[in-house]
Structure formats: C-alpha cells, structure tokens
Amino acid sequence: MSLPQGIGEPSVYHAVVVIFLEFFAWGLLTTPMLTVLHQTFPQHTFLMNGLIHGVKGLLSFLSAPLIGALSDVWGRKSFLLLTVFFTCAPIPLMKISPWWYFAVISMSGVFAVTFSVIFAYVADITQEHERSTAYGLVSATFAASLVTSPAIGAYLSVAYGDTLVVILATAIALLDICFILVAVPESLPEKMRPASWGAPISWEQADPFASLRKVGQDSTVLLICITVFLSYLPEAGQYSSFFLYLRQVISFSSETVAAFIAVVGILSILAQTLVLGILMRSIGNKNTILLGLGFQILQLAWYGFGSQPWMMWAAGAVAAMSSITFPAISAIVSRNADPDQQGVVQGMITGIRGLCNGLGPALYGFVFYLFHVELTDTDSSEKGAKLNMANPTDESAIIPGPPFLFGACSVLLSLLVALFIPEHTGPGVRSGAYKKHSNGAQSHSHSPQGSGAEGKEPLLEDSSV
C-alpha cells in the first residue's frame, strides 16, 4: 500500500512545516515536562534526566545512519512519517503514566532522527549552491518553533493546568502526522527507488555500523564528525539545564526566561537566514563554520563567568550568531556526498548529535554537582528561594557556571579540528554530482562496484586533507 502522493512539487517549505509543528509541540511541554520529571524522580532529578536522554541519544546515534540509508532506498516520505510519529508518541503518556512516558521517550531514540531525513529531503530538491540557505531556513524554523511555544506552554500550564498543555501538544503532533500523510510529496526521484517495498535490500545498505566504519576510512568525514561531537556536546548539555540555571543562579523570573528564549530565537532566525547566506557567499563554507565556532566559544565563556542578568542577555545574542555552525556543516557534508548517499551522511551527523544529546545533560549535571551547584528545586522562583549552593563563598561564586567553561574548552578543540576540514571548491571536484536528482541520470552511475572496493569507498568525495 503506497502513501498519498502529497500536494504539489516537493519544496523546502514542506520540510519547514514538518519541523515547526514537531518542535512546537515539544516546546509547549517545556514547563510540564520539568515538573513531571521532578515529581517522578524527586531525589535525583538531573541524574535521571541525563540517564533518560543518554539512552535516547545512544539509540539515535546507532539508528540515524540506518534510517538515513533506508530513506535513500525507499524514499523520504515514509521515514518522515515514521520518525515524527515515534518522536511524538510519548507526549500523551506524560499525563497517563509518567513512568511509561520516560520509558517510551528513552526508546523513541530509535526513530527520533527527523533532522537526518529532513536534511536529505532538502538535498533532494535543491541545487548545491542553494543548500546552505535551505539548511539555514530549516534550522531557523527549529529556533522559530521555540520562540513562543515555551512561553505559551508555561502560561497555559499556570492558567489551566498541565493536562490542557499535553492535549494541545498531542493535537499539534497529530496535525503534523496528517500534514505529512496528505500534503508532503515524495522528494526522492522514482528511478532511485525500488519498484515496491518488497524489493531486496542488502545488509551493506541496512548495516547501522557501515557508515560508522567509514568514518575512520574517510579523513573528511572523521574531521567533520569530531567537530560536530566536540561542538554539540556542550550545546546539548546547555539545553538540558540552562533555563533552570537562569532561574536559580541568575535569578531570572519565569516570564524573563520566556522572553529570553523568544529574543534569542528571533535573533537565531535572522542569523540562520540573512546572515548565513551573506557569510557563505562572502567568506565560504569552511570559514563560516570557524566563525560560528568562535561565537560559540565566546558565548559559553560569557555564560560561565557571567553573574549579572545583562551578561546573560549579551551572551544570548552571541549564542544566536553561533547557531550558523550546524547548517554550514550540513551544507559542506551534503555538497560533497553523492546524491544517493544524502540520507546516510545526514543520518551520520544526526547520529553524532543524538549521542551528544545523551552525554551532554549527564556531563553538565555531573560538573554542576562537582562544583556544588544543585539544580533540583523547580519551584524556587515561587518560594523565593536563595541560590541552591552548598558553599556560596567557594569557587562557585568566582565561576557561576563551571560547565559552560568546560564547554568552551570543548568547542575550542572543535575549532582546532575544523581548521583541517578541506573547503572543496571548484566545479571540477565532482563534475555533475551537484545537479538535482531530477535533472541527472548519473545518480546511480557509481553504484555498481566490485564488492572488494565497497568497504574502502569514501563516504565523501575528494576527502584528502
């Protein structure tokens, strides 16, 4: 049974709507999720948060390349439907059974890799020179989904209770699934797909470790993966604890935190749409990555040493500029991957980010623990609690945010690694490979190779450093 064909020709805007609805639904649950987490695990809130996200992240790390590779064979639409459904499946369980909610959210990591399929979808329908702008638009949409949704969720939670927020988030998730079913057309050309779902697929195509083994064989892939890991690890940890950090250590109110999210989200949209396009044209792909990493180092250092609210606002503006890094990395990966390997390479990058989503929260929680900064009281603003520090006069007073400084050091290492990523310029590097799938019949010309060479074929072309 085939899925509906969708409406019109595939476009970037189909991908944008899918991403917006998925993360808007989860953004609504920011406040209720923190409350349920604290109520379910009152003694070890952030430890369990790290464990849950660790399991989910590990599963995403293992499954993302496989999902991407299968979407290269069977098409993007089916896997968009699959990933969005399982990513959003835990939402209604939040009020039905918290224990089942956290169990399902952990296991959902197997399919919670929407970004890898979305970026492959975008690669199918854009020219090489359009890709960085398109990826920036998708990443900006992620930021846009978080501009208002946490504030809306927090307001509805206070005014009407968490149950209404969960129902609303579930309805938006269902709307997203219906949109994919009805409106999203398939982006992968028919000639690149088998005649039916019953067509055979080799273990080489389905092996989740195949692309991971190629990481060590291809120097460019290795450099990019290390860059992504070292830069996204502190970002993932920051997402897990930063809003509580603002409330308890910097003494932001809930309203101020919501305003902070909105302002940084709007600035991120501008950075990933207008600024990213200008930088890619003026200084190139690689230098854009390096600039983004530089902004991230400054942002994390400012978060680490900053103790005044105005410092957080200033660092938030810098954080918005650092958001150009990931779409620039996705663009350089897509530019140098073959047309029928877009899902594999994007899945591999998404898998690395999934691993960081598991390790980052645990790392940040552990560093906060080492420096006696306890982030466990979710109701501190209502109770007028003081900073929850074991020894307010110790090193915590000198370095309010120790994990952010560890993160800055990690990103510095990432920047040093990124210096060795080749730029890949010039039309002669891969003649014909930059064309759209629908315009080129050469997309499978590289496929029939001897089995002896398959394991050694680089994932990205021209990967010499």
Greatest alpha-carbon span in the chain: 69
pLDDT at position 142 over 60 = yes
Cα 54 from chain centre: 15
Strands (E), 215-327: none
Determine phi and psi for 389, rounding to 5 degrees: -115, 140
Rounded Cα distance between 303 and 93, Å, is: 35
- Which helix (H) or strand (E) segment holds residue 281: the answer is helix 276-282
- Is residue 387's pLDDT more than 70? no
348 pLDDT more than 90:
no
Q: What percent of the chain has pLDDT over 70?
A: 73
Mean pLDDT of 367-374: 70
DSSP class of residue 282? H
Q: What is the DSSP string of 115-128?
A: HHHHHHHHHHHS-G
Mean pLDDT of 78-101: 90
What's the pLDDT score for residue 166? 93
Q: Which is higher by pLDDT, 413 or 37?
A: 413
Please give the domain boundaries of the chain with CATH numbers for all domains. 1-188 (1.20.1250.20), 211-374+400-422 (1.20.1250.20)
Under DSSP, the state recorded for 108 is G
Alpha-carbon distance of 113 to 97, in angstroms, equals 24
Give bridge partners of residue 460 from the DSSP assignment. 337
- Rounded mean pLDDT of the chain? 76
Specify the amino acid at residue 318.
Answer: V
pLDDT at 418: 92
Is the model more confident about 276 or about 241? 276
| Percent of the residues in the chain that have a pLDDT greater than 90, as a whole number | 17
